[in-house]
Structure formats: structure tokens, C-alpha cells
Amino acid sequence: MYILGISAFYHDSAAAILKNGEIIAAAQEERFSRKKHDAGFPAKAVDYCLREAGISIDELEAVVFYDKPLLKFERLLETYYAFAPKGFASFLMAMPVWLNEKLFLKKQIRDELKKIQLYDKKKLKLLFPEHHLSHAASAFYPSPFEDAAILTIDGVGEWATTTICKGKGKNIEILKQLNFPHSVGLLYSAFTYYLGFKVNSGEYKLMGLAPYGDPSAEQTKQFVSIIKEKLVKIYDDGSVYLDQQYFNYAVGLRMVKDKKFETLFGFKRRTEEEEELTQRHCNLALAIQQVTEEIVLKLAAHAKAITGAKNICLSGGVALNCVANGKLQNSHLFENMFIQPASGDAGGAVGAALAAHHIYFEKERSIATAMDAMKGSYLGPSFSAEEIETVIQQYKAIPTTFTTRDELNKTVAAHISNGNVIGWFQGRMEFGPRALGNRSILADPRNPEMQKKLNLKIKYREGFRPFAPAVLAEDVQNYFELNTASPYMLLVQPVKQTLQHPVPDNYHQLNLTDKLYFQRSSLPAVTHIDYSARVQTVHKEINPAFHSLISAFKQHTDCAVLINTSFNVRGEPVVCTPQEAYQCFMRTEMDYLVIENYLFSKTDQPQWKEKDDWKKTLKAD
């Protein structure tokens, strides 16, 4: 029994396929189209999923879309009516798209599938679970829990912005729901916009900027007070009420009313990502992060109270806020926690398919015997030796071929320890926003110059952006205050105090650059400014190739940690194919590239020529 799940038409379109409830394949469309956050119909991702499963469209039991478009259209109409005559310009922009396309989504899906391959339309069953049910299903069904509380938090689906559910066996019951326009996700996105980052893309930058704020500063405390007194009322159960006189997202073309925000916070909206970040920007980022953490913890506490569950599952875009996730873990409200690695809209494709399998078709659930049922999120395409050889011939590339994995790992470990940056391409591509060791750029976390080098010479992005450590699961407690698995890089916890270096007395008076390059620990390249790190635990049973490389680095250096960042540059999706990996390697200042058992040294390769200055095309992501 095969079921295809699809998410599309907002951002991060994706497809996923199940075989008898098992996730066979999943991928975002952006990885194939090379268009960051591609929102179009995921034709290439669907085609990949069908090929990976080895079936045709006619063999599908159902195609499942991740939300209910008619219910979303109802919300839009009611919202415009409630705010009329405000929002007329937004209304004029939105209605033609809905009337010409989205209201006829069934036809559009059928037509798009026909472009992939011919099929019998009479046999095709289309299903439409609600958006937050898709999120809840994506978190609960792959989890290792028989029963759990489920918390979904994002911007907005149809009406819901937050839900608390109870999962038990194959059933999910929605217990409470917070509706638009009151939204934790949209509140956070409003500050993403105000601080000069791109909405639905730059929220993780806001999270990364927050630690540069001074928690003891009166300005930070004042910002928190303003947010809670003027913008959002937070209730004991974690529900929120946003004062719409300050926001513009309901019917406008911007997230906030700029002048009202400027009056509240005392400075103008930062309009360009290249505009200098000052301490007040950092303090405001910290303030909204603290408010968001307070809301998430109250929601989780209420979920605990009304479900009595000892386990919790998280999904929705806000579940990618790994700092808040770390705070929730440290609260000990729940004994166990599972976070969907593709918690944003892309993961809705997986959730939609799982919801259909267990709820619509009433199929029983098999609880994952391993860590979870997401297979490490390694659900994308892999490439054969023949396909890699074709790329080598195409570029006249010069590799060294290794016959054993041990020899390759020893060589790469030595290169990393000598300060080199490695492009690492192995096996199946990851599903979700994180590179988890198959499409990664790797480096030495002990090198105090490495964060600057990676940001400015490899990724071509803002210097304040942090990097994550990948650590052997069996060694994690030697380096980080983490007592659980974190295979999906979704928990932030402190670096071990024994590894930390004390800051000078005038630390909070330093400018952002001086703070950034102060060596805060024995792992300076992965230690954030507040001594935290976004940890990935690497498990031998989930990713033996990556585990064996870090083990070789440990044997060579006595350090069981590597920097792991996604294999791409600013504004581009993570690489999918060997061709994209080689191109990215040659365009940047990476020193070596590994594709399966092939090692490419930059100094050995033919001179790389570009027709145009490709860096000018890079956009802020």
C-alpha cells in the first residue's frame, strides 16, 4: 500500500511516499529546482519519490495534500471582511491567485501529476487533512512513543496557529487550538522582519542573533516589558492575544506597522541585511527570543496538564527554534521528547501521508524499535559510482580513489586537523533544513579562525552566524551538558563548564565583532556567545560513514567533535547531486571534497572558469 504526501504553494514544497506506513522517501522541491524555499508544485520531488519506491501513480492508494485549501480561503475572506476597508491592496493581489488556481486545487494536482506520467484519473484518490493535523501526524507517528502529548506551533495553517493534541496508538485527538490572527510563529516572524531578515527564512538568524543581546541590560528588560505589555498578552495556558493595531500581516503586505514599532522600540526598522547590527538589534532579538521561550514553556506545561503524558512530540515551524527546545528539555516537564526534523511545511508532506494511512485508512501503527521512524532523515536520493564518474569526466576532475573507508577517513581526518575545510557528500540526501552528515561541510571546531573562515570565505554570509558541532553520541557528555540523543541538531545546550573560558569583566561593553571572536571555550568555532551549542549526536547505527569519520578524527586528535554545516552557500539550497557538490567546491575556498570514496584536492583540479560573477546572484536567505 503506497501513499504519496504533498506540501506546496506556500513555502518549502515537498513530497514524501509511504509503503505500508513506512517512510520510503522524502525530499524538498528546492533541492531539485535549485530555487531556495521553492513553493511551486513539487513535481521533481514527486518524481523522485515514485522512482525511489519503484511504482507508478496508478499504484498509489492515495495522494494526500497537507492542508484544506477551502478552509484557508474561508479564513482569508473572513479576515478581509473583519478588517475592511483595510487590506484592499492585499485583497486585490490575493484573490486572482485563489480564483484562478488555489480554489481548484484538485484539478491542479491532477494536472501536475499528469505532467509527471500518465495515469488513470478515475482511480486517483485525493485527500486533504488539516494543516496542523499534518504537523501533528509528522511528529507523533514517527516517534518511538505509544502515547504522547503533541504540540504544533507555526505561523498559520487554515485557521489554527497552535494545537495541543493527544496521540495514542494510531489515533490523534486535537484537544485545544489557537486561531489566527493570534500566533506565536507570526509574532516571531514580525521581529524577523523588523530586524531586517527575510520572513519564512531568516527566523533562525534571529535566533542566532539573540545570544549577542545582553540579558542584564536595562534595554533588554525594557524591550521584554514592551513586547508583553503592548504587543502580546500571554495567558497561563500559553495561549496569546496579539494587539493587531501594531501588526499588518492579517490584511497587509508587511508584517508590522513600521511607525508604531519604531515608536515602541525607539529605532527604525533595519531594512538591509548588510546594514550594521548594533547592540540594540541584539537586545531586541534576545527579548523576543525570551518571550517566545516563555510561551512555549507555558504551552508545554498546559499540554502536560491536560494530557497527563510523559512524552511530548513537537512540530510546526516554531519547533525548529532549538534554543526553546533546549529550555523545554531542561524544564523536565516531560520524560522524553521527539521533534520532527522537518518541522516546517516540508514535513507536512510526511505528516499528510501518515495521517491518511493511520486515520483515514485506519491502519495500525508499528512503534519504531530504533531511535525513531525517520531513518535519521536520510530520505533523499543517493548516486551510483557510474553517476559520479560521469561528473568526473564532465569536469575533467582529478580525484584520489580509496579502496577502503578506513584509509579515506584517516586521510580526511588529518586534512581537517591541519585546518582544511572539507565538502562531505555521502549516501542519501537529508530531508529537512539541516545537513546531518551526508551533504555537509566539515572543519575542526578547535580552530579559533574557523568560524570566520567558514562564514566569509565558504558560505559568504554574515559573520555572526554560529556553526553546529557533530559529536560521537557515546562521547557527547564529555563536551556538552546534554544527557539525551540529539540526532537532528534540534537542541541547544551549554558546552561543558570545564571547557569554557571566562570572559573579561567588560565583555558586554564590547562590540559585536570583538565578542564574536573572543575564544569562549576549547571548541571556539562551535561555542556560541552564551557558551551554548546546537548539538548533533552522531550514532553508528544511523550514519556509520559519518560516525567512522569522526571516530578517525578522534583517534588522530583526541577530539570527538567536528563542525558540521550544510553543503551550500548563502541563498542556495543544499547540494543534491555530485555535480552540484563539485561546482560548489570549486566556486568556494573549500580545500578538499569527498564524494563517496573519491577525494578531490583543490590544488589538483583544473582551473575553474565562470561565465559571470556568480557571487552577484547570491541573495540573502
pLDDT, one tens digit per residue, over 58-100 is 999 999 999 988 787 778 777 766 766 666 566 666 666 666 6
Q: What angle do CA 405, 410, 414 make, to 5 degrees?
A: 145
Asked whether the beta carbons of 564 and 466 are under 8 A apart, the reply is: no
Report the distance separating Cα 359 and Cα 357, nearest Å: 6
Give Cα 115 distance to the centre of its chain. Answer: 30
CATH 3.30.420.40 spans which residues of the chain? 2-143+340-377, 184-323
Angle at 252 between CA 251 and CA 253, to 5 degrees: 140
* Contacts for 495-500: CB closer than 8 Å, 24+ residues apart: 495/520, 495/521, 495/523, 495/527, 495/531, 495/532, 495/533, 499/523, 500/527, 500/531
Tens of pLDDT along 430-485?
999 999 999 999 999 999 999 989 988 888 888 788 899 999 999 999 999 999 99
Q: How far is CA 246 from the centre of its chain?
A: 28
How far is the C-alpha of 271 from the C-alpha of 195, rounded, in Å?
A: 8
Decide: 116 and 50 in contact? Cβ < 8 Å. yes
Question: Cα–Cα–Cα angle for 435, 67, 343, nearest 5°?
Answer: 25
* Spatial distance between the Cα atoms of 394 and 580, rounded to a whole number of angstroms: 12
Measured on CA atoms in the order 350, 353, 355, 358, is the torsion positive or negative? Answer: negative
Residue type for 323, please?
A: V
Q: Computed from CA positions of residues 210, 212, 215, 217, in that sequence, does the dihedral angle turn out positive or negative?
A: negative
3-class secondary structure, 24: strand
Residue type (1 letter), 356: A
What is the pTM assigned to this prediction? 0.95
pLDDT at 61: 97
Exposure string (b/e) for 421-442, b if CB count within 10 Å is 16 or more? bbbbbbbbbbbbbbbbbbbbbb
Q: Whole-angstrom Cα distance, residue 13 to residue 36? A: 10
DSSP β-ladder status, 598-601 and 399-401: antiparallel
The Cα 259–Cα 45 span in angstroms is: 42
User: Thinking of the domain 184-323, which architecture would CATH place it in?
Assistant: 2-Layer Sandwich (3.30)
- C-alpha cell, 176: 485545544
pLDDT at res. 71:
81
pLDDT of residue 596: 97
User: How far is it, in rounded angstroms, from Cα 621 to Cα 604?
Assistant: 32
- Strand ranges, E, within 346-415: 399-401
Cell numbers found for residue 44: 521533481
Do 120 and 346 contact (CB within 8 A), yes or no?
A: no
Fold classification of 385-617 (topology level)? DHBP synthase (3.90.870)
Q: CB of 184 within 8 A of CB of 318?
A: yes
Which cell numbers hold the place of 370? 530504533
First to last CA, the chain: 38
Question: CA-to-CA distance for 437 and 603, rounded, in angstroms?
Answer: 24
Q: Which residues of the chain have pLDDT under 70?
A: 80-81, 83-103, 273-274, 611, 613-621
Residue range 176-202, pLDDT digits in tens: 999 999 999 999 999 999 999 999 889
Q: Which residue intervals of the chain bear CATH 3.90.870.20?
A: 385-617
Residue 270 · residue 195 · CB < 8 Å: yes
119 in Cβ contact with 47 (< 8 Å): no
What are the phi and psi torsion angles at 602 (to 5°)? -60, -40
Half-sphere exposure of 545 (CA within 13 A, CB side): 20
Distance of CA 199 to the CA centre of its chain: 14
C-alpha cell at 609: 572558469
Category of 6 on φ-ψ map: left (φ > 0), alpha (ψ -120 to 50) or beta = beta
Tell me the percentage of the chain whose pLDDT exceeds 90.
81
b/e 368-385 (16+ beta carbons within 10 angstroms → b): beebbbbbbbbbbbebee
Out of 3.30.360.10, 3.40.50.300, 3.30.420.40, 4.10.490.10, select the CATH number for domain 2-143+340-377: 3.30.420.40
Query: Around Cβ 562, how many Cβ atoms within 10 Å?
Result: 29
Which residues make beta-bridge pairs with 465?
Answer: none
Contact 349, 26 (CB under 8 A): yes
